[in-house]
A and B are shown apart, each in its own frame.
Chain A
Amino acid sequence: MAQAQPIRTSPQPDPGESYLLEGETYASMSSKIGDVPLVSPLQTSRGWLVGFTISFILLMVYFVSIGWLFIKGVGIWGINIPVGWAMDIINFVWWIGIGHAGTLISAILLLLNQGWRNSINRFAEAMTLFAVACAGMYPILHLGRPWLFYWLMPYPNTMGMWPQFRSALAWDVFAISTYASVSLVFWLVGLIPDFATLRDRAKNIWAKRIYGVAALGWRGSARHWHRYEMASLLLAGLSTPLVVSVHSIISLDFAISQVPGWQVTIFPPYFVAGAVFAGFAMVILLMAPVRKWYGFENYITIRHFDVMAKVMLATGMVVVYGYFMEVWAALYGGSTYEEYLLYNRLYGPSAWAYWGLLFCNAVAIQPLWFKQVRQSIPALIVISLIVSVGMWLERYVIIVISLERDFLPSSWGQYNPTFWDWSLYLGSFGLFFTLLFLFVRVLPMINIFEMRMFLHQEQQRMNRKKHHGEAGHGGATAD
């Protein structure tokens, strides 16, 4: 038993102030968080209905865009040789990058025993799942014949063929499907004790039954908790390499090719850092309003935003290093095409995108060095929005600008997105926010049992600190 000491219950190492505000109890947390999904459907708040309606309309925009795509084919987009990849792949990489913050929070921060993750991990994991859903649709939709997407899976087929295992596009399939399924299982397993809480708190018999089935017979016995901790530990171990591997493999879609601007060895770590960067920006963007609307200021405190802003700044600086290395490789590499690519990025027809990305991802995050900025919600929202745009521009620069100018000037081209490019992108927000609104309506958006445990740990830590402080003070006077 000794070696199976669960991470969650280990003492918190953090020396700083408490992450939770005063005056909370186990019961107050359970009711505050747990009662949100248990509101009767007829008493759903008006704000939720308005938000859900807007998201649902955007979801319909998504379906119309997909329907028209199925009827007419990818010709409705602005892509054409030489720019065969554009908004479809930009948005794919953008969405899947956003998902990475959730996995980092749920897996790596769990293994590192960072207690503050408890307040945001459920929401961030949900964000991951929905972002992966949005992302996963794009590679399927851009296939040309999307209904044959299952050809990407290796199954014994009548064609007598396997997928091309040497292609990074086949690796994508495995990377994303593994990522989606592990994230889903991790998220659902994390929900089991909370489902049991909801089952026990629900008044309506059907709510009791539905949450009861989802709780899988959870009764909170010591044996249940022991197995649960082992399962989370194993799943966290499985997810940890995925944080790094998924976006690395996606970066290989570009890096194993020969296109100038794609064939860069720094791509895997640079993409992973960019993904976490964009993901934390999105977590901040989503958490700020949610905590306000649902009155969760006691659980998701300004200190959480401070920490998230620090992660964003750190990963952002890694990304800036990546930009620097791209420039360096172009200047030092001695390849005419790479040099021209740099020139084209700086002064070519799409230079606005490169300068825009430098502003958004390198300049706009610099205020985060200051504590006042990190602890100001409006400032963080503005910076996170700029970062989200910046990360989109980064993919635009990498994908489109590189393809517009490849080796032969005779095959240069220009990409102009069409209405359907934009409507599909806008529509994917509909899918994302529809799922997110449903999530906050029917599931506890903060992990209730982890918060109760975290409250206990924080109280212990504060007590220890108080005693320690008094002892230190006493020692000083004796001297």
Chain B
Amino acid sequence: MGQIFPRNANLFVRVSIFAGLLGATTLILLIAVFFRSNAYRQVNVAIEQPVPYSHQLHVDVLGIDCRYCHVSVEQSYFANIPATETCMTCHSQIKTESPDLAPVRASYASGDPVLWEKVNRVPDFVYFNHSIHVNKGVGCSTCHGRVDQMPVVWQTQAFFMGFCLDCHRNPENYVRPLEEVYNMEYVHPANQRELGAQLVAQYGIMPPDQLTNCWTCHR
């Protein structure tokens, strides 16, 4: 009976065991890293808008409150995108000739809304309500980041479910006094855990076993 394999066949087989394991591990890791990557999740990617609107200018320099435009945030699940009329409250008087604002004026004249691009998204199967969060002491910047520093808005969070659960499991780590909710520069104090626990009790935030019920977010 002749040889059917070359002399180095055994070595090849032994190496291939480790190479196979290494290859499989690497592949799984690469897939995991890819789906968590900011590039895939569009985190820190500035989204171009039909109008070059700058939050930095309006919030930081001019000092307009979030709720001037996002009126419904305290009453509704949705922090509304302002209507053209909201822009025109000022821009009918200020910068009336600016070419950058031409789409806004056109929208005002025709009645068709400006087609703003949505930046912060949660999936369809998530029931997210802005009003409950801002009324229980979760600040805008906790999820949206320093929007007052953004000339063009980008997502600062990938909004993984782990991100939501982190706070739903330990709300005392994140809640702030109600009067600080719209403060973009708010920094958690050193005694956040004590203050947080106190605020959780004061605002009647549900215990974690209820906050982490599937039904809380998936209805």
Contacts and interface: CB of A to CB of B under 8 A. Distances in A.
A209 B5 contact: yes
Contacts of A208: 4
Interface string B152-187: 000000101111011000000000000000000000
Contact of B10 (A158, A199, A209, A217): A217
Contacts of B166: 160
Contacts of A209: 4-5
A205 interface: yes
Contact of A158 (B5, B9, B161): B161
B109 interface: no
Interface in A206-237: 208-209, 212-213, 216-217
A203 to B, nearest CB: 11
A158 B35 contact: yes
Given A216-B13, A217-B10, A217-B13, A161 B4 contact: no
A159 interface: yes
Contacts of A14: none
Contacts of A160: 160-163, 165-166
A168 B161 CA distance: 24
Nearest to A206: B4
B103 to A, nearest CB: 37
Contact of A212 (B4, B158, B163): B4
B5 A159 contact: no
B22 interface: no
Contacts of B165: 159-161
A24 interface: no
A200 interface: yes
Interface in A150-198: 157-161
B4 A158 contact: no
Contacts of A157: 162
Interface of B: 1, 4-5, 9-10, 13, 35-36, 158, 160-163, 165-166
25 contacts: A158-B35, A158-B36, A158-B158, A158-B160, A158-B161, A159-B160, A159-B161, A159-B162, A159-B165, A160-B162, A160-B163, A160-B165, A161-B161, A199-B4, A200-B1, A205-B4, A208-B4, A209-B4, A209-B5, A212-B4, A212-B5, A213-B13, A216-B13, A217-B9, A217-B13
In the A-B complex, list the 5 residue pairs whose CB atoms are closest, starting with the nearest: A160-B162, A159-B161, A158-B160, A160-B165, A208-B4
